[in-house]
Amino acid sequence: MAEQRIVKWGIMGPGGISDNFATELPHAPGAELVAVAGRSLDKAQAFAEKFGIPRAYGSCEELAADPDVEIVYIGTLHPIHKENALTLLRGGKSVLCEKPFTINAAEAKEIADLAREKGLFLMEAMWTRYLPAIVKVREWLDSGVIGDVRIVKAEFGFDAGWNPEGRLLNKEKGGGTLLDAGIYPVSFASMVYGGEQPSKIASSVVIGETGVDEQFSLLFEYGGGRTASLHGAVRLAMSNEAVIYGTKGRIVVPGFLFAKAATLHVNGEEPVDFKHELEPSGHFYQAIEAMECLREGRKESETLTVDETVRIMETLDRVREPWGLKYPTEA
């Protein structure tokens, strides 16, 4: 086992998702949060005071220049992930970047190329992949116990209400369902199919008054009779369940984003339940993975490689192309 040395963290973006990360980081053994930065120094200072963080900065450049910081969690809005990641990598920092990794695949490739050029660790913060219940799902899949996977069904939808100025319905802020909620079922399907992306994509979308996608339905085809049926919404509450159907059985994951349980159904046998209570909600498992990689000198996670992250962004680009949906930074 690698030496459990202390890993010193920074946070870029003192917002809500970063609040969750900072709250849970102490659950990751050997993690020390030493700095936070934001575009507003006042907000960064307030965040630092709340979590007992020694240093607060008013810019990403200052955080990138802090010699004590080894890795930075990026929790800013989607459209500025690329700018933040490039700045931090140029400053010699490893990066754990919130999902969606970027607005599009071109941005993701630019970040990936720089990380490899600099020899730095890079990982998308798809925290769901590291939850114990999802780890168990992968173990069941790898064992072949449900046979050949033929259909994946996954959905994530919630009712955010009508707030046209809020982030979720604001195209300027990268709003809409696909990037915010859709990344979860799309990434889940990618995980189940070993990182393979669909050969064919069919979709239906509802574009709302603010110009963002408020809900979608996707059908992915992979060849060999394998498909994925994926759904997402930001103005419609859904069950958020995932089901994997194989030739010998199925795996059911209730509330798969925050998975606390999974059930294995093998044809003709009694169901097998896996349960694991999360402490407090499981965001810290991705930090544990990142730190294990750093301690072992690995530049990426085998559970979600940089190449797979880029391929997933390519799939999201393909999904929205026929929708005519572009973000202001792409115009």
In contact, 26 and 283? CB cutoff 8 Å: no
Any catalytic annotation for residue 99?
yes
Tokens 């500025």, residue located: 80
Quick one: DSSP state of residue 52? T
The catalytic residue among 82, 99, 136, 173 is 99
Report the side by side order of strands in the sheet with 71-74: 55-57, 31-37, 7-12, 71-74, 94-98, 122-125
- Residue 50 identity (one-letter amino acid): K
Which residues lie below 8 Å from residue 203, measured CB to CB, with a gap of 6+? 216, 217, 218, 219, 319, 322, 323
- Report phi then psi at 138, rounded to 5: -65, -35
- Look up residue 100 and give its two tokens: 């969606």
In contact, 251 and 266? CB cutoff 8 Å: no
Measured between alpha carbons, how far is 164 from 112 in angstroms, rounded to an integer?
A: 33
Active site residues: 99
